Amino acid sequence: MAVSNSARRRIIEWGRRALGLDVPPSDHTAAALHVAESEVPGLDRRETLQLTRIRLLGATGAVIMAISALGVGAQPVRQNPTSGMRVLGFFARAHTSTLTMCMIGTVLVIMAWLLLGRFAIGGWGGNPRHRLSRSQMDRTLLLWIIPLSIAPPMFSNDVYSYLAQSEIAQRGLDPYVVGPADGLGLDNVLTKNVPNIWRETPAPYGPLFLWMGKGIAILTGDNIIAGVWLHRLLALGGVALIVWALPRLSRRCGVAPVSALWLGAANPLVLFHLVGGVHNDALMLGLMLAGLEFTLRAIEDTHPFDKRAWALLLFGTVVITLSSSIKVVSLAALGFVAMALARRLGGGFKQVLLAGAILGAVAVATTLLVTTASGLGFGWVHTLNTASAVRSYLSLPTAIGIATGFGGVLLGLGDHTTALLSITRPIGYLVAAFVMTRMLFATWTGRLHPVGALGVSFGALVLLFPVVQPWYLLWAIVPLAAWANRPLFRVPAITLSVIVSVLVMPRGADFYVFQIVQAAIATVIVGLLLIFLTRKVLPWRNQPGVSAPSQQATAYGVRS
């Protein structure tokens, strides 16, 4: 009996430690990603002049990318407005030159973003001596976004799938059952622009997004250019919500709003893939962060917890649920809101059940309302795994399965990649679920702020998801930008953002290897020449006054 009791106590002890219940706050593994930042003065005259040059460098790169998109962007197969035009059509005929333009523009934007980081986060560690103001950041971000917002789609053809799926819904068919080929026909102009791999595939998106898409389809019909423009307006609205919510969430976590905006909103992945690529992840992230801000206003800022607090909480819950009606992954944010609410109400297990019941009821009611009002039904529940048909090398379980399968082929054991993926992918799901559970407990016990815990959970989910597209990285980077400010996070996040932004080729044209090599060589030469010519007028090196080691100063407010 004594041995049995000892074993039971040991199991309970291991379980509590695995869930993070018995880990001191200072020793929590994820807590090492965060420290309160200090306020610093604004830029002086010399730094303001450098900022103007950096802003111009990024705008020049964005304009070059926008022009090159006329040739190497994701132009529609049908209704291409530049087709047959003498001047604008030239870019589509000179593939190598236009690809070189696009790569040079991409590198210029990335260089400008890294230089801007000098005045946002300083060097690799610590705070900058002087930090640019919020208005300076907003004007810079707007200047870089405008050229890409009026350019043809880049880096992805997904917007054409949006148009086709929305037209299917507008015709009264079920987009969660039929794909563009069956719903519209192979000869339809919208189907012609959908990549072959997705022509037979039903829609994997939530009912709110396709409901908005139905409205766009009613307004634009088969006019592809008008449809793309309206979908880009949705994406820009999502980016605007990110810009609104991110600084507010960062102040709650003791992080400089400009630092969060630099990494989370001015990130090249946002510019290239959410704005340039017209992805609905922008609207999903924007609604999720805005809803998170409203719920935390109720939980953290309202004393006592009165009717206004409940109104804010319910409104924020509805907004988060709406974001999950675009892509269901954002529904995870409600779990962290529930844990924060339970802690505010007393912190006991009964409070967890109460908070979960309240938020769950609101989420279910909102989802039922959207699903019923849109007339799309619940077919989206069965199409959530549609993207897994693609083998993505950014996904850790998928990369391991493919590499192991290839090793088996080399050893003469046969190609067992599919069988290996059926093992590695479920393991990835289990590990991601464990990390998320641990983060939920960390939020409940107050060891981590809900924003940080949510970001860490999304980080695990993205790394272990069966399919990871380049813009999926923003699911983790954007919320973590408001909380994780240590080099342990920022260095990998910056490095990954730069590498992925450079490696992803613009869609809309097929390139030979020699074209990519030639364009890359030209881009490297131009980049090195630019650094040499501007070495005295731009802060390529850690100049005095640009950044300094960590300083002791007034910290940004932290709420818990």
**Residue entry with tokens 């962007």:** 73
- Average pLDDT of the chain, as a whole number: 83
Q: Which tens digit of pLDDT belongs to each residue from 399-445? A: 777 777 667 666 666 666 677 767 777 888 888 889 899 999 888 88
- Which of 10-19, 35-44, 279-288, 324-333 shows the lowest mean pLDDT across its residues? 10-19
Given a cut of 60, is residue 190 above it in pLDDT? yes
User: Quick check: is 534 in a domain?
Assistant: yes
**CA 359, CA 306: separation in Å to the nearest integer?**
17
Domain carrying residue 84 = 43-152+510-540
User: Quick check: is 444 in a domain?
Assistant: no
Q: Residue 25: its pLDDT value, please?
A: 52
User: Quick check: is 6 in a domain?
Assistant: no
**Residue entry with tokens 């908070």:** 355
The DSSP result for 182-230, as a single string, is HHH-TTSHHHHTS-GGGTTPPP-S-HHHHHHHHHHHHHHTT-HHHHHHH
User: Quick check: is 84 in a domain?
Assistant: yes
Confidence of residue 201 (pLDDT cuts 50, 70, 90): confident
**CA 153, CA 164: separation in Å to the nearest integer?**
16
CB 548 within 8 A of CB 127: yes
User: Quick check: is 113 in a domain?
Assistant: yes
**CA 417, CA 407: separation in Å to the nearest integer?**
10
Any residues with CB less than 8 A from the CB of 104 and at least 6 apart, and which?
A: 61, 64, 522, 523, 526, 527
CB 50 within 8 A of CB 132: no
Confidence of residue 64 (pLDDT cuts 50, 70, 90): very high
Confidence of residue 34 (pLDDT cuts 50, 70, 90): low
User: Quick check: is 61 in a domain?
Assistant: yes
More confident residue, 378 or 491: 491
What percentage of the chain reaches a pLDDT higher than 70?
Answer: 82
Backbone angles phi, psi at 556, to 5 degrees: -65, 150
What average pLDDT does this structure show over 93-118?
89
Confidence of residue 551 (pLDDT cuts 50, 70, 90): very low
User: Quick check: is 198 in a domain?
Assistant: no
Q: How many domains does the chain have?
A: 1
Task: Classify 550 in phi/psi space as left (phi over 0), alpha (psi -120 to 50) or beta.
Answer: beta
Confidence of residue 547 (pLDDT cuts 50, 70, 90): very low
Nearest to 444 by CA among 513, 329, 347, 527: 347
- Helical residues (DSSP H) of 126-188, grouped into ranges: 134-149, 158-170, 180-184
User: Quick check: is 258 in a domain?
Assistant: no
Q: Which tens digit of pLDDT belongs to each residue from 146-187? A: 999 998 998 888 898 899 898 898 888 888 888 888 888 888
What average pLDDT does this structure show over 8-12?
60
What average pLDDT does this structure show over 267-281?
93
**Residue entry with tokens 């002890």:** 13
The DSSP result for 66-133, as a single string, is HHHHHHHS---SSS-TTTT-TTTTHHHH-HHHHHHHHHHHHHHHHHHHHHHHHTTT-SSSS--SS---
Q: Residue 550: its pLDDT value, please?
A: 39
Q: Residue 545: its pLDDT value, please?
A: 44
Given a cut of 70, is residue 30 above it in pLDDT? no
